[in-house]
Amino acid sequence: MNKPSILALAALTLLALASCTDTTKTADGGAGKGGAQNADSHVVATAFAAGDSSADSFVALASSETGLEFDNNVSNPQVLLDQIAAQAGLASGDFDNDGDLDIYVAGIEQPNRLYRNEGGFRFEDVTAAAGADIALEGEFCAGAMFVDVDGDGNLDLYVFTRGSFNRLYIGDGSGGFTDETEARGAGVGNTCVTVAALDIEGDGDLDLYVANNRMGRESMASQMDSDIQGSFRIDQNTGRYIMTGAAAEFYYFDELNKARVKPDDDQLLINDGSGHFDNGIADAGMDHIGWTLMALAGDYNEDGHTDLYLAGDMETPDYYYINNGHGFFTDQSRTMLRRTPYFSMGADHGDLDGDGLLDIFVGDMAAADYKDGKIQSGDMYQYRQELINFMPQQNMRNCLFLNRGFGWMSEVAELAGVKASEWTWSCRIADLNCSSTPELFATNGYTMRFSVDVDAMNEAAALSAAGATDEELEQHALSFGTLPRQDVLFTADTPLHYKKPADNWGIVGESISCGTSIQDYDGDGDLDIITNRTNDKLGVWRNDKQCGNRLTIDLRQPGSNWQAVGAKLKAYAGTKVIASEVTLARGYSSAESARVHIGTGEHTSLTRLEIIWPDGKLQVERDLPCGSHYVISRRDDLEDWTPPAQQGIYTREDFAWQRKEADTLAQEFDEEPLLPWQRSTLGGGLGVADFDLDGRMDIYFAGAAGQTGRLYMGAEGGFAASSLMEGSIPAEVEEMGVLCFDANGDDRPDMLVTAGGNEAGGDTTLYRNWLVLNTEEGMQSGWISTSEVSSGSACSADIDHDGDLDVFIAGRLKPHRYLSPVPSELLVNEGNLNFVDGAASLPEGGISGCISDACFADVDNDGWQDLLTCDEYGPVRLYRNVDGRLQAGIDIAPHGIWTSLTVADTDNDGDLDIVAGNQGLNTKYKADNEHAMTLFAGEFNGDGRRQLVEAKQKGEQEFLPGRGRSCSGYAMPQTVAERFPKWHDFANASFNEIYGDPQEIQEHYYANELSSMLLVNDGKGGFTAQQLPLAAQYSIAFGCSAGDFDNDGDIDLLQADNYYATQPETGRWNAGYGQLLDGNGSGGFSSVEPGRSGIYIFTDGRGVQAFDSNGDGLLELVLSVAYASPVVLRRNPQEQSGTGLAVNLVGKDGNRWAVGSRATLELDNGSVLLREQQAGSGYLSSSLAPLHFGIPAGSKPVKLTVRWADGTEASVSEFDGSGKVTVLQY
């Protein structure tokens, strides 16, 4: 083994671091021996052994109790110093066909061991009796797998090694093995970490994906500069550096043209059906470079073909290979994942939320403790370009991928509370208490504490600069000792609400644990845990918890893959669905048996079990009682399983134009180094109106700085690009909000386009807002006022009942002064395009802040249009309109990172409720009433420069610094870097010691609610807040449209989400797809998953508007999108529950589109539906489309009552069945 360079090691490794009642025991305690055979020979059940749950805990068992006398001692310092050499896994499987699960343990410097399960948690070491040298003494072994490669019905043993080649031992079914590595072409590897078994091409046998790494990586990194001299060329077309010559075998250039050490190539061993292999990776589409530490096989997109998730360490990303059929794969990580861990370690899959889909949990090395996190966080600026440019983006924490349908994932580790589990190796998903909601388990620890201590590595750098030898540097690193950690357990009473249980359920004590096996080793039906620990004995825990009901299953089928590896199971217990897949490689360097465990909680049986065999045949078993182990054999004459159809509720069409955001990252973070997220990409509204008066709705999409917006005219079959707006607004303007309204009373819709962002620099005239008049001669534009505030939302209403429309323009931000409040303006329309300052109609002192959205609506039902606003780091606020004057604001929701406001009668009670978009619950930020998300601003560094300081509130006036020593030190060298030169000092310092007394800091902002909310109106303008469904919290919300999308009489919602431009170290907020929420008419909503809705908008959604563009009675949904093309979503006609009614309100001159009027529709079933015509709602957007009512099937409209904006009324009681009604104001 090559000696590692300690400085290279530092640079490479540290960036951031039974049923509850007893069952009858069988004669031998085994789960699969003997057993009572049912009348149906295809289902054989054996009752579980009696279990002891008196401890209600896991109980550690000593080696003297179990016979597992194995101590994985490592003494070679070169092994300890290597990043991956000092960890090993284990394998479980029934190699002797007696029904009990046996264990093979991989040794690092110790010989491997094979243990036979004798029942009752007793094992016998049978290594010497195996007949082949399966101990491999003198080899560095990583792990192993029991898998039948030759299809003879007996498990074979595949052992993966580092520094040598893998071994294949063919089993005889009675405990004997023969080494046939060379004869069968299985001796690949060299630095193999893990192997996945799967049927790549669907031919009925098991192939092997061999994941490799490289030994001696650190020493290679230290000599790389000299090794690559003269060994590269530059591609003249792309500018990419390409390694050449002998160096290309060991090094490569990444996409940033940085030279990197190259890992060993992975191999894909294709089985010829007899257990002989050839490497077929070149023909499988898997041409990648990856420091692979885990290969996880599963059918994630539900098409019947097994896919591969490859967890990659360090600078190489994870790969998400979707099997296209016939063994060819396509990496979809950039689109279907979008972010992954930076230091991916182990991985596992399981159904975490009970939707019948496989989710994925991938471990990293993030510290859970505040101080450890600060001590271990490295130099973030050194790796900023990787964090910005690598796709998918890599995050320095665990990732939990929630399958939203057809393999499209939302990463939700932050929301689920599982982002940090220390220096994690093996990640496992297992139902440890048999509740039907699985737990997450992570092994922990590392052999080199030095690698997680920035101060230690800085000392090593100083020693090296002073001339220390390699040996002295090695001794320095070893002197810090090891980093033992307790294994981490997360449990959830309800899906995705994970927490660490008290006393870790008895799994206590610090160690360096790596590979894990979680199986029922004592035959009582619950899951026990065995871990392979470095410099320690095996960790063995018997499950003595008070568990729910459960059963275990072995599948059997004819042919080579007789264990049905790759088969999918869906178990139904009551209303619960529990999905599993027969998977061998799980965790890290480990493999499990093909046995499936199912916990059912309070349910005593499975009402239905669906088995989808690897060849796509469907078998259904019914009424399987819990409390037994089942062997289920394949039946004859099975029907084909039909993969779910990818026909969603909506079909998507993209516009040709794209909003192209300028790259302002360097500028923004130079101006404000500790900016939480960028401010230049908030824009992108849209406006909907019939500009050419042809009866079809047209759309204007706001343009980003450097481009003009784009107008699309409604046309037969869709929309056509128009040149009418060309030259109306300078391209330099960052267009934000689009307000469609009649500004001059000529009965033609005009447009107000607000100017914002922070790209304008010193030319503040670029922040003036533009009024575009729609005249018979064309579009004529000019400034509506001389205000030079960077604006956002705009909305319009006749606030003074004088017959014309007034305008409110929300001040959004002050460029490069984050959260500094800016004024908003009210422009009162005096007629003849005379908009005057409406300060007299505002509360004393005006309205200011960082207002992210605003809209007018009559929320207290008094006939006057009230104003609603929401702030970033502020409240949702109501300004009541009393006789044409807006009163002082009333906070109707707590301080949040509010983004948008949409009003609708969601509970059909005759008043307008408010949907308020927020940051969501899936970021690093957490907040509640006692622990506010906090930001201070002021001068901290003695240089007169305003700085931002994020903080976590601990008590009433007690805070913890939010950012680490690295970022804070760069931003404030005098305050942080010079006063706290060591990371330990910074971690141990209080907030007051670093930044001073919080009460004396000039600016203090806070948020104590981050959920997107529904504010339910009591009819008088009082509101009760309720959280929107959990799926609406997966990402930050922007625009939201409310409408009866399925024509069932109830309001539904579409939420646009995602934000790309966060601080690089935090990771992007991009777990959303555009969330459809189905309303129940009582103020409740249920989330519709993308796999059902057909909505997969994984870029940054902004504005949303719903309108019927083609007269089919269904609302189309149009979204503006940052960095991409706008989207129109059309609902499939069969996906509706009634018919649509379009109500066209024609108001008097000055307010032709009757803005501020409301329509109430009575149905013959007693329902009363309310709509209000608004100008400006749903984040930077507006629509003057006709009002839409859904009429449920079997119902008819009876009466339509209109209350016009001036308070007068009209009604209609005759409907001609055309689906359209026009009401004129006289």
Q: What is the pLDDT of residues 679-696, one digit of tens each?
A: 999 999 999 999 999 999
Per-residue pLDDT for 379 more than 90?
Answer: no
**Mean pLDDT of all residues in 861-866:** 97
Contacts of residue 575, Cβ cutoff 8 Å, sequence gap at least 6: none
Rounded Cα–Cα distance for residues 1083 and 1025 (Å)? 11
Residue (of 981, 986, 14) closest to 453 by Cα position: 14
Q: What is the pLDDT of residues 922-940, one digit of tens each?
A: 999 999 999 999 999 999 9
Amino acid symbol at 896: G
Write down the pLDDT at residue 38: 52
Band (pLDDT 50/70/90 cuts) for residue 84 is: confident
Rounded Cα–Cα distance for residues 982 and 458 (Å)? 9
Rounded Cα–Cα distance for residues 1041 and 1095 (Å)? 14
Write down the pLDDT at residue 82: 85
The structure tokens listed for 930 are 């006692």
Q: What is the pLDDT of residues 89-136, one digit of tens each?
A: 999 999 999 999 999 999 999 999 999 999 999 999 999 999 999 999
Rounded Cα–Cα distance for residues 499 and 437 (Å)? 13
CA separation, residue 407 to residues 305, 306, 413, 467 (Å): 12, 11, 17, 53
Band (pLDDT 50/70/90 cuts) for residue 545 is: very high
Write down the pLDDT at residue 24: 30
**Mean pLDDT of all residues in 1030-1045:** 98
Band (pLDDT 50/70/90 cuts) for residue 35 is: very low
Q: What is the DSSP letter of 975?
A: I
Domains of the chain: 6-214+263-625 (2.130.10.10), 651-926+1009-1202 (2.130.10.10), 933-1006 (no CATH)
Rounded Cα–Cα distance for residues 508 and 444 (Å)? 12
CA separation, residue 279 to residues 284, 286, 305, 505 (Å): 10, 12, 20, 44
Main-chain dihedrals φ then ψ at residue 376, nearest 5 degrees: -90, -15
Q: Where are the alpha helices (DSSP H) in 1032-1151?
A: 1090-1093
Q: Residue 986 in contact with residue 976, Cβ under 8 Å? A: yes
SS3 content of the chain, % helix, strand, coil (to 5): 10, 40, 50
Rounded Cα–Cα distance for residues 466 and 459 (Å)? 11
Per-residue pLDDT for 5 more than 60?
Answer: no
Rounded Cα–Cα distance for residues 269 and 523 (Å)? 35
Rounded Cα–Cα distance for residues 1206 and 1156 (Å)? 9
Q: What is the DSSP letter of 316?
A: S
Write down the pLDDT at residue 39: 56
Per-residue pLDDT for 1183 more than 50?
Answer: yes
Per-residue pLDDT for 47 more than 70?
Answer: yes
Rounded Cα–Cα distance for residues 565 and 946 (Å)? 60
3-class DSSP state for residue 668? helix
Write down the pLDDT at residue 385: 87
Write down the pLDDT at residue 477: 94
- State the Cα angle at 291 between 589 and 93, rounded to 5°: 15
Rounded Cα–Cα distance for residues 591 and 600 (Å)? 24
**Mean pLDDT of all residues in 254-273:** 94
Amino acid symbol at 365: M
Per-residue pLDDT for 16 more than 90?
Answer: no
Main-chain dihedrals φ then ψ at residue 809, nearest 5 degrees: -120, 120
Per-residue pLDDT for 30 more than 50?
Answer: no
Per-residue pLDDT for 507 more than 50?
Answer: yes
Write down the pLDDT at residue 37: 42
- State the Cα angle at 827 between 822 and 829, rounded to 5°: 175
H or E segment and range at residue 470: helix 470-478
Write down the pLDDT at residue 22: 35
User: How many beta carbons lie within 10 A of that of residue 911, not counting itself?
Assistant: 20
3-class DSSP state for residue 837? strand
Rounded Cα–Cα distance for residues 292 and 213 (Å)? 6
Rounded Cα–Cα distance for residues 630 and 623 (Å)? 13
Residue (of 828, 762, 755) closest to 793 by Cα position: 755
What does the mean pLDDT of the chain come to? 94
